Structures are given as structure tokens and as C-alpha cells.
Chain A
Amino acid sequence: MRIAGQKLTGKLAAIYVTVILITLVMLLPFAWMLSASLKLSSEVFVFPIEWIPSNPQWQNYVDIWTKIPLALFIYNTSKLTIIVTVLQLFTSSFAAYAFAKLEFPYKNALFLGYIATIAMPWQVYMVPQFLLMREFGLNNTHLALICLQAFTAFGVFLMRQFYMSIPTELCEAARIDGMNEYQIWAKIMLPLSKPALSTLTIFTFVTTWNDFLGPMIYLTKTELKTIQIGLRMFISQYSAEYGLIMAASVVALIPVLIVFLSLQRFFVEGVASSGLKG
């Protein structure tokens, strides 16, 4: 017998068994979530586990929309995520172009300012940042979260690393052809940097969508809440409604799953390169 062009040896069989077992363990919590989301709360903890519910409660997926403003939470989160991602992509790639391809005074000092904060946990300055936002009157607004997530050192660093690998001759040739720097950025650098842009898109999307502490500190009004803290509120309000909680959790996972699967190819490359070039 042959699998993937290799002879099925004892060693190969052992690898398959190990990989499949580990994958099952990794995915088990998701399987449990999906299965429990279709059960009555009283059935969720029945052991041995009935993985495929005999009497699926599709009603759970209807009820969650009325028990809490789930649609509003999703709308809030999508709005925040899209704005943050667009701003992040634009400002990071814009700044990164100057750091990678232009000469100007204090270039190294400015770049060092970015680098020095990359390793600095946000939690170190979250309190003064909150006080600053409150001073600006941005407490309980989405704008606060946009401001704190859209201008990251990480984004600039990632894009700069990628631009460094694009030959400078390309920019020089364009300058001779009469393009100005803005045109070079828009017409040459941006189209060439799709892998880096995709990586940054996924990183930003996933972090913003899944952010927990930020929204928890800034958003106390229910109508402003994001899906994560909305879900958290749901859990504390209906702590025994396991089926509903699981259904809401599944819904909260879907957007990330879609983005992740569609950009997955770039993501793996991006994680790998952003990690190692640093």
C-alpha cells in the first residue's frame, strides 16, 4: 500500500496515528462546542458524550439573537475590526515605505522608537492610556479602541521588513520615469507587497476581533460592546443555559474561521517570515 507516494511502513503508520490523535485532541473542544450548541442545557453534560445530538435543538441558534443583542455586538465588532484593519494597513505600509526606501534626518532614532516598544506589553501602559483617552473624552466610544489599535509598531516593522527585500533599483527606475514617491508607493510597492499586507490583515483582524481586555476597559455601555465582551456578558447572565452559550460561541467563531481559512496560505508564510527576519 502507498500513501502520498510513500510505502506504508511501520514508521509512517506510527506518524499517521500520532498526527491524527493529536489533531483530534486539538479539535475536540470545537467538536464539543458544536455538539453542545445543538443540545438542551440538561443534555450537555450527559456522559458518555452523544457527539451527534439525536434531537438537535436548532432553536438555540434562533434564540441567541433575541436573548442578547448578538447582531449588534457583531456589527460593532465588524465595524471596529474593518476600520482598524484599513487604518493599520494604510498607515503602516505608508510609514514603512519611508523607513525602507527613503533617506531623512533622524530615521534611525524614529525607527528605534518603534522597535523599543515592540516587546513592551500593552498591559504596561494600558492604565495611563485609558486616563489619556478619558481626558480626550473618548471613554465609552469606539474611537478609543480604534486609536489604540490602529497604529502599532508591529505593523510598521512587518511592512518595513518586507519592503527591504524589494530591490531599490525598482524605485530608482520609477523615479527616472518621472514618478514621485507617492506614485511609487501606490503603483509599485503596494502591488508587490500582497503577502505582507495579507499577513498584517489577518494579524490585525484576528487581534481586533478577539480583543478582550481593551473593550472590557473602554466599553461599559451594552450598545457599544463587542462580541467578546458581549459573549462574556451573556455567559454571566445565563450561566446555566449551556446550549445557548455554545451556540453564541459558535457564531462568534465563524467570522474568524472564514477569514483565517481564506487567507490561511499567506498567514503561514507570514508568521514564518515575520518571525525569522526579526
Chain B
Amino acid sequence: MANSIIAAGDTPVVTRRRKVVSKRRRKVQDALVAYSFIAPNFLGFAVFTLGPILFAFVLAFMHWDGSNAMTFAGLDNFWRLFEDKAFIDAFWNTIIYTVVSVPATLACALGLAILLNQKILGRDFFRTAMFFPYVASLVAVAVVWNMIFNPEMGPVNMLLYTLGLDPKDMPGWAADRHWAMVTVILFGVWKSMGYFMVIYLAGLQGINSELYEAADLDGANAWQKFLYVTVPQLGPTTFFVTVMLTIQSFKVFDQIYMITQGGPGTSTLVLVYHIYNEAFVSWDLGYSSMIALVLFFLVLGITVIQFRRQKED
């Protein structure tokens, strides 16, 4: 402040120039200080994240097995996608997984949030319990899942048997082509709904209670209040949850690796699994990067579409 007043006043030219120089020096100094704050994180980020991302785009147009010389492939890897039956299966499985698990998780999370937004005894305990599967170690809970859904001995099928279901109609869960995807989706919904419940809880708490009072005055019932107050007011939250869930579903891997290994056949093979196989089993690094690019554009496309729709609303 003081500087600018002096500089603007009728001070001799020499001092003014000195002020300008020292001001510029100050600016450089300030910038250096700022960069010193950013540097530790940014260097790591640039080398280990930005670099590999750029490299992924190059690698997708190369042939490379990781040991011999890299050769330029042009669009070879791209055309290969259309002939690779495993890729096509993985692509559709990823879409199916997303299309089913996103709305299912969203509905469960919203339902739970509304239930646990009520003033009930032990509310914090219940919230914590719902949230716990999200932080629990995946390998440990996936093993339990496999045991509980074991087709021959697991308690789920035992229960179905006691309820009178014919053993030959019994779902084979992870070992059954038709049920493997269901098993994996159930696991995904169970594991992550608590997390999105918390986000919805925050959204619910942001709704002005006067809106409900006004709806009461108009004689709205609980369902109408949900439909005409809660749902529209939660719009931004739902948007955020949908984007997060969609991205999370596109990159699903761990639970499939642990529960079905992509099988039986290719019935639960998903994109990331295929990337993993092509890279670390077949060492076809160029092709695996091409599949990764497909994943990248899927995620990008969905995010852009969702942002557009959000803007229109």
C-alpha cells in the first residue's frame, strides 16, 4: 500500500525507478517462495503421474514387449481392439457392471442416508457400522464373500435350501456364468454404499427445513415431500455421487480379481482386468495401453456428458 502511494506521488524519477526495480525483485522473490511450497509435491506428481500419463498416449501407438526394441505400430493396436473378443466382452461387462451397480448403490446410499438422518438412538453407531465395509480390507472381506456365497456349502445357499429351493435351481454365484456378475455387483454395492451414504447425509443436512414446513402447510405427505423437496434439493449431491460412482465402476478390478478372476469364461472380465492381463501376463505393453486409452475416453466422456446435463438442469 505504502509503496504505491509514494510511487504515484511526485517523487523524483530515480527513486521511482528504484521502487519499480525493487518491486519487480519482490515479485520474483514472492514467486520463488511460492514455487518452493509447490515443488516437493509437484516434482513427485510430475514425474510419477503426469509423465506416465503422457507416456501412455505414446505407448498406445507402439509395439513393445518391455525388453526388445520398441517399434512404431501406427493404428495396429487400435484395429486389434475390434478383433479381440476378450476386449469386446470386457468392454460390455464393464458397461453392465456400471449400469447396474451405479443406480443400485445410489438408491441404497440415499435410502440409508434418509433413514439415518432421523433422530434415533445410537445413530452414530449405525452410521459407523454402515461405513465400515468401505474401509475394511478388500482381500479379507472378499474371502468371506466367497465363503458365504460358496455354491455347495455356503450359508446363503444353505438358507435357500432350507427355504425349499430345489438344489438344481440354486445359483452357483461366483462359479456360475449367469450369477458371477451378480455376485461381484452385490459385493460392490455392499462395500461402497456406506461411503456415499455419508455424502448424502451431508447433502440432507444442507436442505433448509423451512421447505419441509412449507410442504407440510400445503398438506404434502411423506412421499410427496421426498419427491418434490428432498430429491430436487439433493440434485448437486446426486450429480457428484453419480460421477464418482461411474468412475469407480469403470475402474473396478480388485474385487473381481479376488472373487471370480474374471471368470467363469469371460463373464466378469472387465477393462482393467484386461489391461492387467495384456500388460503383466502377456507383456503386450502397447496394446494394453490402447485398452487403457479406451478406459480413459470412457471416463472422460461420461464426466463431460454429466457436467453438460448438470449445467442444463
Contact = CB atoms under 8 A, between A and B. Distances in A.
A249 interface: yes
Interface in B141-163: 141, 143-145, 147-148, 150, 153-155, 158
B44 A147 contact: yes
A71 interface: no
A29 B50 contact: no
Interface stretch (B5-13, B79-87, B130-138, B223-231): B130-138
A4 B120 contact: yes
A75 interface: no
A95 interface: yes
Question: What is the interface of chain B mostly: helix, strand, loop, or mixed?
Answer: helix
Given A26-B130, A117-B50, A151-B48, A128 B55 contact: yes
Interface stretch (A56-64, A190-198, A266-274): A266-274
A232 B115 contact: no
Interface in B249-295: 250-251, 253-254, 257-258, 272, 275-276, 279-280, 285, 288-289, 292-293, 295
Given A147-B48, A252-B137, A102 B37 contact: yes
A108 interface: no
A252 B132 contact: no
A36 interface: yes
Which among B40, B137, B155, B251 has the greatest number of chain A C-beta atoms within 10 A?
B137
Interface stretch (B27-35, B98-106, B173-181): B27-35
B185 interface: no
Contact of B129 (A23, A95, A107, A119): A23
A170 interface: no
B45 A47 contact: no
A272 B130 CA distance: 15
Interface in B183-230: 190, 194-195, 198-199, 201-203, 206
Given A268-B131, A272-B199, A209 B42 contact: no
A119 B128 contact: no
B144 A249 contact: yes
Nearest to B153: A45
Given A153-B45, A227-B137, A256-B135, A128 B115 contact: no
Interface centre among A12, A253, A272 (most CB of B within 10 A): A272
A80 interface: no
A95 B296 CA distance: 27
B247 interface: yes
A94 B296 CA distance: 30
Interface residues of B, number: 93
Contacts of B247: 119, 121
A23 B130 contact: yes
B138 A212 contact: yes
A20 B135 CA distance: 21
Interface string A228-249: 1101100100000010011001
A227 B38 CA distance: 33
Contacts of B131: 267-268
Contacts of A45: 147, 150, 153-155
Contacts of B199: 271-272, 275-276
Contacts of A180: 33
Nearest to B296: A124
A273 B203 CA distance: 10
A120 B298 CA distance: 11
Nearest to B112: A22
Contact of A29 (B138, B141, B202): B141
B127 interface: yes
Given A45-B153, A94-B40, A228 B299 contact: no
Nearest to B198: A271
Nearest to A259: B135
A228 B289 CA distance: 26
Contact of A127 (B31, B241, B292): B292
Contact of A228 (B49, B52, B138, B190): B138
A48 B132 CA distance: 26
Nearest to A275: B199
Contact of A117 (B43, B53, B198, B241): B53
A127 B288 contact: yes
Interface string A29-68: 1101100100000001101110000000000000000000
10 contacts: A102-B33, A119-B303, A121-B250, A125-B56, A132-B55, A212-B258, A213-B253, A229-B139, A272-B202, A278-B240
Given A22-B112, A128-B59, A228-B138, 4 more contacts: A91-B41, A98-B35, A231-B140, A275-B240
Interface of A: 3-6, 12, 15-16, 18-19, 22-23, 26-30, 32-33, 36, 44-45, 47-49, 90-92, 94-95, 97-99, 102-105, 107, 110, 113-114, 117, 119-132, 134, 147-148, 150-153, 155-156, 180-181, 185, 202, 206, 209-210, 212-213, 217, 227-229, 231-232, 235, 242, 245-246, 249-250, 252-253, 256-257, 260-261, 264, 267-268, 271-273, 275-276, 278
Closest 9 CB pairs of A and B: A272-B202, A151-B44, A249-B140, A98-B37, A91-B41, A104-B34, A128-B55, A45-B153, A129-B52
